[in-house]
């Protein structure tokens, strides 16, 4: 039975519209594993970053002009003439990079602790859908300043759809609003960039509902059966989250105030010119691993399929990993392959920033091959033959957790 609020007005309103009791159940009383570490902070960090991106984006949209002749100048107007416009724009641009960094770490934590396994498959799917929507939103936002890199990145990405047999050229024409990138293209990209964040918010709510259905996974990966294995989310994890927010905002502030352009490309400060192609067209850093996979395959259609497949393969990951044990703590061999995969992904990002020729092209092909080998061959085989460590009956049987609990007392 739900607890009643002491405030009579709040209790009266909640009885008729139980929004406050739902929020209390989700953010205060929700039973949470007591052994969660700081890697679980990145979910809440992603949420607060999404709020920052939406608020800063709404302010920028009031001053931005989605027209090919005025877009670049309107961005400069924001930077030079709008009160604190430079700050809002840097918060938005740096925030995009921070958002992706947080989500990449969040996904890596899920891979390490097996958070994609039964019964949390739908939770994992919703997370990947959020990631795909983030990619689409970030690409559309990257085109809006209408600098050189914006224009040519839009040209390269939209032309990828032409690789689709029979209907590819028609899709490109529909996306561009004509036969080349022009004002209709920019207007469409701006409209979708404004819309998609609110769709992300909707999927995030579904993600949270799915999370609360079976509760959070934990570092041991075992299902919690004892009441004393769980504690209320507030105040234990709200304090932990606020500590994470403090550390994040320090790092975020350093980039906003001292290194705002370090994560961007200098060519985007040159107005878009269809007659001048940049020497090397590169996307933002968070797209580079997938860009490397795209360029590693010489055939256009296969490259596009490989790039899309590198993300969509995550949807079937719960069934590709045949091991019943979730956490890497009890899978010593898989733990080694996990870190090899992380290193491989970072190398893909590095070669994605280089010109695709010579040894860079060879490295990108090797890393691309390993990326798919990890999911399609290594994980299924490991699940059948890996000898796992003994699994504790509960989190108190884990010596590391027991030691931590004693220290907390």
**DSSP code, position 390:** P
Alpha helices in 71-147, H assignment, sequence order: 71-80, 85-113, 121-143
CA distance 296 to 244: 38
Dist. CA 352–CA 343, nearest whole Å: 14
As averages over each run of 10 residues, the pLDDT of the chain (409 residues) reads 77 89 88 94 97 97 96 96 96 97 98 95 98 97 94 91 89 90 94 97 96 94 90 93 97 97 90 90 93 93 95 97 94 96 97 93 97 97 92 73 43
CA 3/CA 398 separation, integer angstroms: 34
Q: What is the pLDDT of residue 2?
A: 58
Which domains can be identified in the chain, with CATH numbers?
A: 36-281 (1.20.810.10), 288-409 (no CATH)
Which pLDDT score, from 0 to 100, does residue 350 have?
96
Q: What distance in Å separates the CA atoms of residue 123 and residue 117, rounded to the nearest whole number?
A: 10
240 is catalytic: yes
SS3 143: helix
pTM of the prediction?
0.93
Give the pLDDT confidence score for residue 259 in this predicted structure: 95
Q: Cβ distance 53 to 95 under 8 Å?
A: yes
Distances (CA, A) of 131 to 99, 178, 204, 241, 314: 10, 29, 11, 22, 11
Cα(317)–Cα(306) distance, rounded to whole angstroms? 16
DSSP-assigned letter for residue 272: -
Is residue 147 within 8 A of residue 255, CB to CB? The reply is no
Q: Which helix (H) or strand (E) holds 368?
A: helix 359-373
Catalytic residue among 106, 117, 229, 241: 241
Q: What's the pLDDT score for residue 225?
A: 85
| CA 57 to each of CA 62, 96, 102, 193, 258: distance values in angstroms, whole numbers, following the listed order | 9, 11, 19, 10, 21
Phi, psi (degrees; rounded to nearest 5) at 356? -75, 75
Using DSSP bridges, classify how beta strands 230-232 and 31-33 pair: parallel, antiparallel or unpaired: antiparallel
For residue 4, report the phi and psi dihedrals to the nearest 5 degrees: -90, 145
Considering only CA atoms, which of 232, 371, 227, 257 is closest in space to residue 313?
371
Helices (H), 177-218: 183-214
Please provide residue 28's backbone torsions phi and psi, each rounded to the nearest 5 degrees. -120, -60
23 alpha-carbon distance from chain centroid: 25
Which residue is listed with tokens 């990209």? 189
Active site residue 409: no
Structural tokens at position 396: 């108190």
212 is catalytic: yes
For this structure, is 97 an active site residue?
A: no
pLDDT at 280: 84
Active-site option among 63, 67, 77, 212: 212
Closest residue by Cα to residue 348 from 328, 330, 329, 371: 371
Three-state SS for 230? strand
Given 56, 216, 310, 327, the catalytic residue: 216
241 labelled catalytic = yes
Catalytic residue among 14, 229, 284, 321: 284
Q: Which long-range contacts (CB under 8 A, 24 or more apart) does 177-181 make?
A: 180/274, 181/151, 181/154, 181/155, 181/274
Residue in 240, 335, 402, 404 annotated catalytic: 240
pLDDT of residue 405: 42
pLDDT at 397: 64
CA–CA dist 374, 338 (Å, integer): 9
Among residues 130, 144, 166, 165, which one has the least CA distance to residue 299? Answer: 165
């Amino acid at each position: 039975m739900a607890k009643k609020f002491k405030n009579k007005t709040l209790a009266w309103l909640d009885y008729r519209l139980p929004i406050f009791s739902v929020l209390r159940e989700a953010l205060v009383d929700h039973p949470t594993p007591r052994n969660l570490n700081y890697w679980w902070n990145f979910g809440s960090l992603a949420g607060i970053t999404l709020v920052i991106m939406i608020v800063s984006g709404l302010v920028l949209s009031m001053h931005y002009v989605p027209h090919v002749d005025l877009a670049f100048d309107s961005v400069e107007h924001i930077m030079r003439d709008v009160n604190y416009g430079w700050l809002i724009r840097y918060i938005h641009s740096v925030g995009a990079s921070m958002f992706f960094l947080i989500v990449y770490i969040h996904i890596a934590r899920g891979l390490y602790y097996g958070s994609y396994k039964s019964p949390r498959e739908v939770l994992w799917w919703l997370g990947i859908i959020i990631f795909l929507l983030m990619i689409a939103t970030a690409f559309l936002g990257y085109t809006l300043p209408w600098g050189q890199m914006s224009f040519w990145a839009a040209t390269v990405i939209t032309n990828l759809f032409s690789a689709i047999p029979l209907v590819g050229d028609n899709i490109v024409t529909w996306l561009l609003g004509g036969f080349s990138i022009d004002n209709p293209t920019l207007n469409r990209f701006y409209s979708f960039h404004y819309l998609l964040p609110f769709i992300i918010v909707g999927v995030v709510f579904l993600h949270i509902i799915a999370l609360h259905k079976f509760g959070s996974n934990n570092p041991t990966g075992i299902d919690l059966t004892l009441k004393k294995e769980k504690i209320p989310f507030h105040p234990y994890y709200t304090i932990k989250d606020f500590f994470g927010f403090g550390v994040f905002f320090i790092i975020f502030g350093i980039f906003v105030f001292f290194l705002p352009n370090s994560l961007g490309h200098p060519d985007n400060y040159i107005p878009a010119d269809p007659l001048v192609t940049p020497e090397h067209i590169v996307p933002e850093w968070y797209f580079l691993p997938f860009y490397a996979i795209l360029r590693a395959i010489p055939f256009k259609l296969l490259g596009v399929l490989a790039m899309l497949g590198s993300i969509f393969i995550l949807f079937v990951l719960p069934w590709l990993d045949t091991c019943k044990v979730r956490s890497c703590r009890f899978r010593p061999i898989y733990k080694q392959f996990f870190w090899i995969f992380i290193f491989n992904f970072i190398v893909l990002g590095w070669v994605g920033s280089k010109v695709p020729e010579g040894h860079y092209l060879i490295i990108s092909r090797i890393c691309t091959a390993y990326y798919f080998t990890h999911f399609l061959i290594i994980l299924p085989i490991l699940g059948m033959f890996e000898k796992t460590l003994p699994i504790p009956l509960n989190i108190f049987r884990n010596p590391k957790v027991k030691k931590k609990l004693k220290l907390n007392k």
